[in-house]
């Protein structure tokens, strides 16, 4: 499990331990997850892991497999936000965000897939975001990284299905984690984007700490669904994300109906 120092990662590690599971909890800084060892009472091993370092990922996955002799559930949670207009995000910021939010999970998946295939069982859980359902001004890069994770997960699910390996995308709405306060990089917002990106930034500041989502309840649900074997491919969490998924789907169908006739005529005419 990656990104266990706070937020969903920490809540999921605790929920799994409370359910009696064996847990490998990772974070960039080992000290940030040491308290989980005490919660686990011998059922939790902690390891330092930077998901942007492919060779380190391979080493940690090998060590994790050796600890318990198998890997049942792999959670890709490590990530952070980037708030800024698409035009105003630097290439360095964009690449760094993709390195963590997309390439990080990719490194993990490429390291664990051979193990899970050989076991002929397992479950990969990728933590996405409501921004991948439909995005906001200011989250263009962050949402793009999460959308890439979702598209990759769609293929991954089909590729691993024949080996008994499941894939789940978790799409949290606004939850009371440290994401807004400490889990987000911010760019300087120019006057040109004050009415869009700036407005969204102000909204985030106002809701921080007041979000309706409870990470502990979400973690408990995820662990329950995994144990029952009933976890869906997409799991929007919280009323906000559920409504967003419904509204987005309805809007896309409505748009499709407007252009369906004209768009269908671009096929080669039937002979």
Q: Give me the residue spans of the domains in the chain.
A: 7-240
State residue 181's pLDDT score.
Answer: 85
Where in the sequence numbering do the catalytic residues fall? Answer: 128, 142, 146
DSSP 190: P
Query: Which ranges of the chain would DSSP assign to H, the alpha helix?
Result: 7-18, 35-40, 54-68, 91-98, 104-119, 140-160, 179-182, 199-207, 215-228, 239-264
Tell me if 61 sits within 8 A of 74, measured CB to CB.
no
What 3-state DSSP class applies to 178? coil
Q: Are strands 122-127 and 73-76 parallel, antiparallel or unpaired?
A: parallel
Q: Which two tokens stand for residue 270?
A: 């039937």
Mean pLDDT, each 10-residue run in order, the chain (271 residues)? 93 95 93 84 92 97 94 96 98 98 98 98 98 98 98 98 98 94 92 98 95 96 98 98 98 97 94 83
Give strand pairing partners of 27: 48
State residue 72's pLDDT score.
Answer: 97
State residue 266's pLDDT score.
Answer: 96
Name every residue whose Cβ is closer than 8 Å to that of residue 113 and which is 6 or more positions away in sequence: 156, 160, 165
Give strand pairing partners of 186: 83
The CATH number of 7-240 is which of 3.40.190.10, 3.90.190.10, 2.70.98.10, 3.40.50.720?
A: 3.40.50.720
């Amino acid at each position: 499990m990656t990104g266990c120092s706070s937020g969903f990662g920490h809540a999921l590690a605790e929920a799994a331990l409370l359910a009696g599971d064996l847990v490998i909890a990772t974070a960039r800084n080992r000290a940030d997850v040491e308290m989980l060892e005490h919660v686990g009472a011998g059922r939790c091993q902690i390891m330092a892991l930077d998901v942007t370092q492919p060779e380190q990922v391979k080493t940690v996955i090998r060590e994790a497999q050796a600890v318990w002799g198998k890997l049942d559930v792999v959670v890709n949670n490590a990530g952070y936000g980037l708030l800024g207009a698409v035009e105003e995000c630097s290439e360095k910021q964009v690449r760094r965000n993709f390195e963590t939010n997309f390439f990080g999970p990719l490194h993990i998946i490429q390291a664990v897939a051979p193990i899970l295939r050989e076991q002929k069982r397992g479950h990969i859980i990728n933590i996405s975001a409501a921004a991948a359902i439909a995005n906001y001004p200011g989250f263009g890069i962050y949402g793009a990284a999460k959308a890439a994770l979702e598209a990759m997960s769609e293929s991954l699910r089909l590729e691993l299905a024949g080996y008994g390996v499941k894939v789940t995308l978790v799409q949290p709405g606004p939850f009371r984690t440290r994401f807004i306060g400490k889990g987000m990089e911010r760019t300087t917002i120019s006057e040109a984007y004050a009415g869009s990106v700036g407005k969204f930034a102000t909204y985030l500041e106002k809701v921080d700490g007041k979000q309706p989502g409870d990470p502990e309840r979400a973690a408990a649900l995820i662990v329950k669904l995994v144990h029952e074997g009933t976890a869906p491919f997409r799991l929007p969490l919280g009323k906000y994300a559920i409504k967003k998924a419904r509204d987005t789907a309805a809007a896309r169908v409505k748009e499709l109906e407007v252009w369906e006739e004209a768009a269908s005529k671009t096929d080669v005419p039937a002979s």
